[in-house]
Chains A and B, each alone.
Chain A
Amino acid sequence: MALQIDALFIVGISIFTALLGEGVTYLLVYRTEKYIRLKAEIEKQTKKLEKKKENLGEALDKQQKKKIERDEERLKNNNRDLSLVKMKSMFATGFAFTALLSMFNSIFDGKVVARLPFIPISFIQGLSHRGLAGSDFTECSFIFLYILCTMSIRQNIQKLLGFTPSRAANKNSMMFAPPGQFK
Chain B
Amino acid sequence: MANKQSAIDKSKPVTLGFFALMKLGMSKNAEWPDTEVFLDWIYWSRQIVGFFLGIIWGIIPLTGIIGLASFALASSGYVYLYCSYMNIDDEEHGGIWEIIKEGFMTNFASFLVTWIIIYSCLHFDDNLAVKL
Residues on A with beta carbons closer than 8 Å to the beta carbon of B68: 118
Residues on A with beta carbons closer than 8 Å to the beta carbon of B43: 159
Question: What is the interface of chain B mostly: helix, strand, loop, or mixed?
Answer: helix
- B110–A152 CB distance below 8 A: yes
Total A-B Cβ pairs within 8 A: 99
**What does the 1/0 interface line of A143-183 toward B look like (CB < 8 Å)?**
00100110110011001001000111000000000000000
Cβ of A47 < 8 Å from any Cβ of B? Answer: yes
Interface size on B, residues (CB 8 A): 39
Residues on A with beta carbons closer than 8 Å to the beta carbon of B62: 117
Cβ of B121 < 8 Å from any Cβ of A? Answer: yes
- A117–B128 CB distance below 8 A: no
- B109–A2 CB distance below 8 A: no
Chain B residues 106 to 132 lying within 8 A of chain A, measured CB to CB, are: 106, 109-110, 112-113, 115-117, 119-121, 123-130, 132
Query: Which 10 interchain pairs have the tightest Cβ spacing?
Result: A151-B109, A152-B109, A152-B110, A114-B120, A117-B63, A117-B119, A155-B106, A3-B129, A115-B120, A4-B121
Which residues in B have some Cβ–Cβ distance to A below 8 Å? 10-11, 13, 15, 35-36, 39, 43, 47, 57-58, 61-65, 67-68, 105-106, 109-110, 112-113, 115-117, 119-121, 123-130, 132
Known A115-B128, A118-B67, A167-B35; further 11 A-B contacts with Cβ < 8 A = A1-B130, A2-B127, A4-B121, A8-B117, A51-B10, A114-B116, A114-B120, A116-B119, A140-B120, A151-B105, A155-B106
